[in-house]
Amino acid sequence: MKKLAALLATLSLTAAAHADEVQVAVAANFTAPMKQIAADFEKATGHKAVLAFGATGKFYAQIRNSAPFEILLAADDETPTKLAKEGAAVAASQFTYAKGKLVLWSAKEVIVDDKGDVLKKGGFDHIALANPKLAPYGAAAVEAMKALGVYDSLSPKFVTAENIGQTYQFVKSGNALLGFVALSQVTKDNRITEGSAWVVPANLYPPIRQNAIVLEKGKGKPAVEALMKFLQGEAAKAIIRSYGYAL
């Protein structure tokens, strides 16, 4: 019995010795699913994913200025590709972990109809969106409004957020009656969790392919490779789907 206890203790110490931390830059729209994935990843592997959330454009600037990130989970496919071309990331590691969906959302019931006609009818003072220069979801919102022919009339009402997480907070707090957010922020188990929403048709904006890539600081590290593999496994995919993403 003592030998078994000693063996288990040795195995535990060995696992702990091999456990590591992974520094991950995560697009703000992927906050909720990534928190859940990170918890499951730590249980499964012992490795801890240390997460930072924000706008993809800001992460790009930070990475180019030697930020300590080892993995980037971007809100687009252009930023990881650009980093790889610039020698700041490992091109062969890149893959699409999710395909995002844009939604027009209000924290209040009834405000947003199921066809998005509220954009043409008006009746609101402010509409929130993420900075289109930094956040792919903000750029998608601009393209959708232009496709609908409402961009010029709505632009004076814009409340521009730094990222999609802040956009959600603007609408949630009532600083803007409605706004363009990621479907993942207002859905769980494929149901809208509160308020009223219109899922913007995919043909109104360019596809939001969200790519993951290993950055130079994470190259060759077992814990980094383990997380990239975990993100492509069925457990992670199930979580990603439950937040309304396509795969």
Residues 109 and 200 in one domain: yes
**Which residues constitute the domain of residue 125?**
101-204
Residues 24 and 81 in one domain: yes
What pLDDT was estimated at residue 38? Answer: 98
What pLDDT was estimated at residue 19? Answer: 80
Residues 59 and 151 in one domain: no
Find, among 242, 234, 240, 229, the residue nearest to 99 by Cα.
240
Instruction: Encode the chain (247 residues) as per-residue pLDDT tens digits.
Output: 455 444 444 444 444 446 899 999 999 999 999 999 999 999 999 999 999 999 999 999 999 999 999 999 999 999 999 999 999 999 999 999 999 999 999 999 999 999 999 999 999 999 999 999 999 999 999 999 999 999 999 999 999 999 999 999 999 999 999 999 999 999 988 889 999 999 999 999 999 999 999 999 999 999 999 999 999 999 999 999 999 999 8
Residue 247 lies in a domain: no
Residue 135 lies in a domain: yes
Quick one: CA dihedral 75, 214, 98, 52, positive or negative?
Answer: negative
Q: Which CATH number belongs to the domain containing residue 223 in this structure?
A: 3.40.190.10
Separation of alpha carbons 189 and 3, rounded Å: 46
Residues 148 and 115 in one domain: yes
Cβ neighbors of 172 (< 8 A, separation 6 or more) are: 107
Residue 235 lies in a domain: yes
Residues 126 and 58 in one domain: no
Residues 153 and 221 in one domain: no
What pLDDT was estimated at residue 131? Answer: 96
Residue 187 lies in a domain: yes
Count CA atoms within 13 Å of residue 154 on its CB side. Answer: 29
Is this model's pTM higher than 0.95 or not?
A: no
What pLDDT was estimated at residue 18? Answer: 64
| Number of domains the chain is built from | 2
Residue 51 lies in a domain: yes
Q: In degrees, to the nearest 5, what angle opens at C-alpha 149 toward C-alphas 145 and 154?
A: 60
